[in-house]
Structure 1
């Protein structure tokens, strides 16, 4: 008798934010069995980053993105909505850049060009945490990660930020389940940014994480892990069953 096959676990494409690398996800408990692909952000254009994301795996997949990583996911969704089976979005903004953001990014790029990358890291540090002056060990951890990313990638990321566009209309056309995570004390991307994202997505759950800032995977890894597990359960419910398999003759 033919039997219905069980769909293979979908790959998870994990995309960090600016000045972040795979160390950002070190404490997240990724569900067992799902291949995890870490994407690097080293191109100066959101469209090129989205194409890189889409080419990182074959077939359908789930995107896990923080900040700039989620913005790359928005662009990938506009280009190939049929490929994206689930979205886990956190600490982000679906709006177009504001004039003051463009000015800030140009200023940061100028500092890096002058060899003052360390100054840029220090400028960005307070916005990463729920308090302006985080404990020294947390600050040092962030500095290590940012310096591992380095000035070259940082300049590319700043350039990419300036090419992003409003994604709300694209979110309305999403065909997949999503979870939107917001740190209640995220100064860079406050909760109302995430409410707008969740309202635009047809099948989204919004979760506000208490006492958390921008770096949710560090500050509340259990909340991120739980949200991802719940999202994947919803994705499994929406996926069509695999075609029947036939015994070998």
Structure 2
């Protein structure tokens, strides 16, 4: 594995990075250090830890210890078949990493495919998750209602085609405003998943009944211009969460934290600063 401090994309950051062994893999982890309740970030299927650079900076500046890792087979995280089962799950890798880092309770934030895993983990380890944030994600629900919803919003001739995927992943407003940023996204997306790396399944299928057990206060962050997980789709599954509230960034596409980092960061930090609601 390359030394992350030698990589151009990390040369301008002050944060520590390490390769940490968990069963079946070595995970590339960025840890800002600091006090307070840790905040763990789970990246999308089309990205790596690199996508979180604006969040690492802003959330750390707000007083949080922020931890982000490349999932197994993505970015700089590599599978190690001799040390554990393959391909494993993101939830299991996160639980092992929490043990290695000595994390007891933490906030958990997942975007898009990271949102699938965040729901999976929060339902499995409720005592660990203090607050949950899921952004721009269809949740990968096994419910037929959600699969039918996704089929209705698919763009004929475009959805599923690798060569046009960045245009579905990134909103039109951002592409118009920041063409250089869009090219950086394309470069990250093309390099994110290692050749032949298998996708990690959910530990158990995401269902309405499963997420109804998640007691942690949950923020659903929606992107108004998201072609893959529009607000109506997210509301359809999020209504099954016991304690959910909603926020929307109107002109953001699916890569919400990349496209609109200032608005995204403000929404997340405001949520984390809220007093816990009384159950009485």
TM-score, length-scaled by structure 2: 0.66
> Which ranges of structure 1 fall in alignment gaps of 5 or more residues?
1-7, 105-118, 240-249
Q: How has the CA–CA distance of structure 1 residues 238 and 46 changed in structure 2, closer, same or farther, with 3 Å as cutoff?
A: farther
- In our comparison, the structure showing a higher alpha carbon Rg is 1
Question: Which structure has more RCO (C-alpha within 8 Å, separation ≥ 6)?
Answer: 1
1:36 pairs with 60, 63, 66, which one?
Answer: 66
What SS does the corresponding residue of 1:54 show, helix, strand or coil? Answer: helix
Which position in structure 2 is the counterpart of 1:247?
Answer: none
> What is the match of residue 93 of structure 1?
138
| Structure 1 position 152, deviation (Å) | 2.8
Aligned to 1:206: 246
Distance 1:229-1:133 versus aligned 2 partners, 3 A rule: closer
In structure 2, the gaps of 5 or more residues are: 1-34, 74-78, 80-85, 155-160
- Contact kept, 8 Å, 2:120 with 2:206, in 1: the verdict is no
Aligned pairs for 1:49-198 within 5 A: 49-57=90-98, 58-94=103-139, 95-96=141-142, 98=147, 120=162, 122-131=163-172, 134-135=175-176, 136-152=179-195, 155-157=197-199, 160=201, 165-198=205-238
TM-score (normalised: structure 1): 0.73
> Structure 1: which 4+ aligned runs deviate by more than 3 Å?
43-47, 97-101, 236-239
RMSD (CA atoms) = 3.2
C-alpha contact (below 8 Å) 2:138/2:228 kept by paired residues:
no
For 1:47 and 1:201, how far apart are their aligned partners in 2? 26
Determine if contact 1:16/1:66 at 8 Å carries over to the other structure. yes
Count residues with an aligned counterpart.
Answer: 212
Higher helix share: 1
Q: Which residue number corresponds to residue 5 of structure 1? A: none
Structure-2 separation of matches of 1:164 and 1:151 = 24
Indicate conservation of the 8 Å contact 2:226/2:252, yes or no.
Answer: yes
